[in-house]
Amino acid sequence: MDWITTVDHKKIAILYLWAGGIFFGIGGLEAILIRIQLIKPMNTFLDAQTFNELITMHGTTMIFLGVMPVIFALMNAVIPLQIGARDVAFPFLNALGFWTFLFGGILLNLSWIMGGAPDAGWTAYTPLSSSSYSTTHGVDFYTIGLQIAGLGTLIGGINFLATIITMRAPGMSFMRMPMFAWATFITSAIILFAFPAVTVGLVLLTFDRILGANFFETSGGGNPVLWQHIFWIFGHPEVYILILPAFGIISEVIPTFSRKRLFGYSSMVFATILIAFLGFMVWAHHMFTTGLGPVANALFSVSTMLIAVPTGIKIFNWLFTMWGGQVRFTTPNLFAVGFIPTFTMGGVTGVMLASAPADFQFHDTYFVVAHFHYVIVGGLVLGLFAGLHYWWPKMFGRMLSEHLGKWTFWTFIIGFHMTFFVQHFLGLMGMQRRVFTYLPNQQFDLLNLISTIGAGLMGVGMLFFLANVFITSRKPADAADDPWEDGRTLEWTISSPPPEYNFKQTPLVRGLDAFWKEKTAGHKGMTPSEPVGSIHMPSATVHPFLMSVGIFIAGLGFMFSRDDFGNSFMSFLFNNYIVTALGLLITFGSMLMRSLFDDHGWHIEPEELEGR
Amino acid sequence: MTTAHAEASKGTLPHEPEKATAEGRNKVLAFWLFLGGEAVLFGTLFATFLALRNQTNDGPSANELFHLPLVAAATFLLLVSSLTSVFAIQAMHRNQPALLRNWLLVTVVLGAAFLGLEIYEFSEYIRHEKFGMTTSAFSSAFYTLVGFHGAHVAFGIVWIAVLIGQLSYKGLTVVTAPKIYVSAMYWHFIDVVWVFIFTVVYLLGKVG
């Protein structure tokens, strides 16, 4: 019950981690099944329909329900601490964002047991996703589930923007903010401007499928390419929503374990902003082969290649940070250092794909699959592992085992390169993506076998991580405040895990890497910027949970509103939108309650603070 | 000088009560951000509408459908309601809760009248022109864009009505003031979107 009503950002972080971890596991199992099917030519392990459902759900689950929540987990756990705040700007909204994400994710995954998962690919291209080609409720689960989960992401994004703008500790100007806080800030801005576009896209597709609208139906005057534009004007910035936090994590981990300040801090900041800006300008590079014409293709080609410039700045800055530093290869730093070449390879194939004429050859082959897995797995997932190992002691008060951590790293990264490196060649030789099997003797056989074995090895790496987490959870929570001993930022100045009010006294920030600055000046901790006083805390509340349950019920009701249940009572409930109305009533009722009964929270008094 | 003095003598509320507390300032800032997201939302809907506005699929076209006098009346109602919400905020800044409540009531009534005209317009199209959601890509885009705006108006009406209720039993405080201020921002945003709808959908549909 405590977990359902909590509004504490540190607890919400753990909720995000659990939920994201479970969805990540589901997405990983789907990936393993896909790779088993492709282990040999003409395999009959899965049928085509199941394969389509698996690739769709693998992509959708991993991006929206797997890695994004884990990113949000780290942001929630770290950001208020890094900027010296007692909480996020809107604790209530923070909880609401988590619950809408979770119920959206549950709705999406219910499709497996309620008549068929979505099968139109994670991009849900029309007309494949139209009701004439995708006849089960699968795509409805996709549109409505993602809609609800997306709402949570948008709420989270706005919350982090407001938090970072208004709640930084005294002295922490924007140019003294840690890079992970910067990454979160820019990522949240991208979320704010990208997610409403997909909101609209999903609404239009829902209307097409459930209300018989004609947005993408050519027979009614609609235009399927419109879907691609709307999807990718969201979908391309989404790539940066995923990778910028990883950049932020790497920029924290590498300086800590090099005992040097980040090389070129301000160029890192501006590179981040520039990447975010360019991220919105390049969506049509996903659509070179739809026939936009040479002028559009050329423009989008050039703007895409431009992104390599700020990204290259970042890569070199990390290298220069390590240069001459006292580098320690702890598990987090192994992941961070492993990230650099792996991500760079993904970036290089990105430039190759950005060349429109070459893209006509690469399009829809395994070359593309290899490229984006190098970026998202070799980039983001390695970054997340670095971040999780790095901040685990701060989140839970326990150090993960270094020994098991290194096993995780080596099995995972070797498995990763085995899986995806060979896919470049499969793609260049013409193996198509999204196809459930292939003919023998096209030189695809051996490389696919290697790829599948690699995927298994990545799975083993995940098992090492889970074992590490399990074993660690049995140990006493005795991590030091600054367990890596070279912590540079504010989160390492308070106990692990932090008290619920984070900072007894808000710290005074005197420079970049605030804690490091105090350490080099010979101080043990931060100078407080205020006297010890009563601390205002928000109250726990069940409303975010109830609102999300309401939206969940309304979504299910709307989805089945045109169905014939064969049971007249059920048909009556759904066909008259009674279930939908009931769900919305719960949501709006909760909102009304929240609005009418002000909750002024409670205070922790100074005597209580001293008592601990 | 005199007004400031008068306020000080009342001693109840700061000049800009919506920005008096950190929570209030956060709320106003976050609402600006939210409106940024809403702008993208409507931008995408507008883009969709522009892409599909001539795809009438042998159904009625914009030129055959729209009656500008009706739309002009609706526009007038909504624009005036934006003005009355400004009066409401001015009353709030002068710490006159009764006047504030009255102006909010006028805003809600004007908003409801606008919504009534829109519902009448839609029902006319559906009944007499056989112009429904499924008729054509143009109809889908039209109902979705204008309907989304209408749903925003409806939400705003309920929201401000709840705030009026809240105002009457909690009074004007630094807790209620940011809520009222933010709802007025929302109302202006709806109004701005409508100006674009009037231009892009109706005027362009008639003469473009």
| Res B33 pLDDT > 50 | yes
Q: What is the CA radius of gyration of chain B?
A: 20
Mean pLDDT of A574-582: 91
User: Could you give the CA distance from residue A188 to residue B54 in angstroms, rounded to a whole number?
Assistant: 36
Chain B residues with CB within 8 Å of chain A CB: 22, 25-26, 29-30, 33-34, 36-38, 40-41, 44-45, 47-48, 51-52, 55-57, 133-141, 143-144, 162-163, 165-166, 170, 175, 179
pLDDT for the residue A564: 82
pLDDT tens column, A124-153: 999 999 999 998 999 999 999 999 999 999
- DSSP string for A19-38: HHHHHHHHHHHHHHHHHHHT
Is A595 in Cβ contact with B133 (below 8 Å)?
no
What residues in B contact A535, CB-CB < 8 Å?
none
Name the residue facing A215 among B25, B41, B137 (closest C-beta).
Answer: B137
Cβ(A70)–Cβ(A79) under 8 Å?
Answer: no
Cβ(B108)–Cβ(B100) under 8 Å?
Answer: no
Is B48 in Cβ contact with A226 (below 8 Å)?
yes
Is A220 in Cβ contact with B166 (below 8 Å)?
no
User: What dihedral angle (degrees, nearest 10) is formed by the CA atoms of A237, A349, A380, A419?
Assistant: 140
Identify the closest residue of chain A to B136 by CA–CA distance: A220
| Res A490 pLDDT > 90 | yes
Determine the 3-state secondary structure of B163 from DSSP.
helix
Assign residue A503 a region (left: φ > 0; alpha: ψ between -120 and 50; beta: otherwise). Answer: beta
What residues in B contact A195, CB-CB < 8 Å?
37
To the nearest whole Å, the CA of A27 is away from the closest chain B CA by 29
What's the token pair of residue A500?
């619920």
pLDDT tens column, A361-385: 999 999 999 999 999 999 999 999 9
| Res B2 pLDDT > 50 | no
Cβ(A379)–Cβ(A339) under 8 Å?
Answer: yes
User: A341 Cβ partners below 8 Å, 6+ apart?
Assistant: none
pLDDT tens column, A255-314: 999 999 999 999 999 999 999 999 999 999 999 999 999 999 999 999 999 999 999 999
Confidence of residue B5 (pLDDT cuts 50, 70, 90): very low
Cβ(A517)–Cβ(A527) under 8 Å?
Answer: no
Chain A / chain B CB contacts < 8 angstroms:
116
| Res A509 pLDDT > 80 | yes
Identify the closest residue of chain B to A205 by CA–CA distance: B140
| Res A15 pLDDT > 60 | yes
**Nearest CA among B91, B97, B80, B113 for reference residue B187:** B80
pLDDT tens column, B139-183: 999 999 999 999 999 999 999 999 999 998 888 999 899 999 999
Confidence of residue B1 (pLDDT cuts 50, 70, 90): very low
User: Could you give the CA distance from residue A265 to residue B139 in angstroms, rounded to a whole number?
Assistant: 52
Is B26 in Cβ contact with A166 (below 8 Å)?
yes
Is A195 in Cβ contact with B137 (below 8 Å)?
no
Mean pLDDT of A587-604: 87
Name the residue facing B45 among A200, A212, A229 (closest C-beta).
Answer: A200
Is B29 in Cβ contact with A215 (below 8 Å)?
no
User: What dihedral angle (degrees, nearest 10) is formed by the CA atoms of A448, A453, A459, A465?
Assistant: -130
Which of B21, B35, B38, B44 would you mutate first to test chain A, the one with the most A CBs within 10 A?
A: B44
Identify the closest residue of chain A to B141 by CA–CA distance: A215
pLDDT for the residue B3: 43
pLDDT for the residue A611: 62
- What letters, b where the CB count within 10 A reaches 16 and e where it falls short, cover A486-521? bbbbbbbbbebbbeebbbbbbbbbbebbbbbbbbee
Bridging pattern class, strands A535-537 and A602-604: antiparallel
Is A90 in Cβ contact with B38 (below 8 Å)?
no
pLDDT tens column, A304-356: 999 999 999 999 999 999 999 999 999 999 999 999 999 999 999 999 999 99
Identify the closest residue of chain B to A597 by CA–CA distance: B166
Which of A90, A158, A191, A200 would you mutate first to test chain B, the one with the most B CBs within 10 A?
A: A200
Whether the link from the prior residue into A127 is cis, omega within 30° of 0, is: yes
Which of A166, A167, A208, A215 would you mutate first to test chain B, the one with the most B CBs within 10 A?
A: A215
| Res A45 pLDDT > 60 | yes
**Nearest CA among A386, A251, A288 for reference residue A331:** A386
Is A220 in Cβ contact with B33 (below 8 Å)?
no
What residues in A contact B166, CB-CB < 8 Å?
595-596
Is B134 in Cβ contact with A214 (below 8 Å)?
yes
Is B137 in Cβ contact with A230 (below 8 Å)?
no
Name the residue facing B40 among A193, A214, A217 (closest C-beta).
Answer: A193
User: Could you give the CA distance from residue B81 to residue B183 in angstroms, rounded to a whole number?
Assistant: 13
Mean pLDDT of A595-610: 82
pLDDT for the residue A596: 80
The beta-strand segments (E) located in A461-517 are none
pLDDT for the residue B7: 43
Orientation angle between helical segments A402-428 and A331-354, nearest 10 degrees: 10
Confidence of residue A232 (pLDDT cuts 50, 70, 90): very high
Residues shown for chain A? 612
What's the token pair of residue A499?
């008290």
pLDDT for the residue A147: 96
Name the residue facing A207 among B22, B144, B170 (closest C-beta).
Answer: B144
What's the token pair of residue A263?
């090389």
| Signed CA dihedral, A70, B36, A248, A370: sign only | positive
Is A203 in Cβ contact with B139 (below 8 Å)?
no
Q: What is the CA radius of gyration of chain A?
A: 24
What's the token pair of residue A134?
């995708």
| Res A163 pLDDT > 70 | yes
Mean pLDDT of A68-96: 96
Determine the 3-state secondary structure of A324 from DSSP.
coil
pLDDT for the residue B8: 41
User: Could you give the CA distance from residue A321 to residue A257 in angstroms, rounded to a whole number?
Assistant: 10
Q: What is the largest CA-CA distance in chain B?
A: 69
Identify the closest residue of chain A to B56 by CA–CA distance: A221
Neighbours of A608 (CB within 10 A): 12
Among A411-415, A508-512, B16-20, the least confident range: B16-20
Cβ(A311)–Cβ(A251) under 8 Å?
Answer: no
Confidence of residue A95 (pLDDT cuts 50, 70, 90): very high
Cβ(A107)–Cβ(A141) under 8 Å?
Answer: yes
pLDDT tens column, A515-550: 999 999 999 889 999 999 899 999 999 999 999 999
To the nearest whole Å, the CA of A585 is away from the closest chain B CA by 13
DSSP B199: I
Name the residue facing A154 among B37, B51, B144 (closest C-beta).
Answer: B37
What residues in A contact B141, CB-CB < 8 Å?
215
pLDDT for the residue B10: 47
Share of chain A above pLDDT 70, in %: 100
H helix count then E strand count, chain B: 8, 0
Neighbours of A47 (CB within 10 A): 12
| Res A414 pLDDT > 70 | yes
On average, the pLDDT of chain B sits at: 92
To the nearest whole Å, the CA of B145 is away from the closest chain A CA by 10
Identify the closest residue of chain B to A214 by CA–CA distance: B137
What residues in A contact B25, CB-CB < 8 Å?
166
Is A220 in Cβ contact with B57 (below 8 Å)?
yes
pLDDT for the residue A568: 86
Mean pLDDT of A242-263: 96
To the nearest whole Å, the CA of B98 is away from the closest chain A CA by 19
pLDDT for the residue B207: 87
User: Could you give the CA distance from residue A533 to residue A604 in angstroms, rounded to a whole number?
Assistant: 9
Determine the 3-state secondary structure of A507 from DSSP.
strand
Assign residue B172 a region (left: φ > 0; alpha: ψ between -120 and 50; beta: otherwise). Answer: beta
Mean pLDDT of A60-85: 96
SS (H, E, C) B14-77: CCCHHHCCHHHHHHHHHHHHHHHHHHHHHHHHHHHHHHHCCCCCCCCCHHHHCCHHHHHHHHHH
Mean pLDDT of A552-559: 94
| Res B57 pLDDT > 80 | yes
Identify the closest residue of chain A to B51 by CA–CA distance: A226
Mean pLDDT of B81-107: 96
Cβ(B117)–Cβ(B70) under 8 Å?
Answer: yes
User: Could you give the CA distance from residue A369 to residue B160 in angstroms, rounded to a whole number?
Assistant: 50
- DSSP string for A140-183: HHHHHHHHHHHHHHHHHHHHHHHHHHH-PPTT--GGGS-HHHHH
What's the token pair of residue A442?
């096209």
User: Could you give the CA distance from residue A432 to residue A426 in angstroms, rounded to a whole number?
Assistant: 9
Cβ(B30)–Cβ(A90) under 8 Å?
Answer: yes
What residues in B contact A598, CB-CB < 8 Å?
170, 175
User: Could you give the CA distance from residue A51 to residue A55 in angstroms, rounded to a whole number?
Assistant: 6
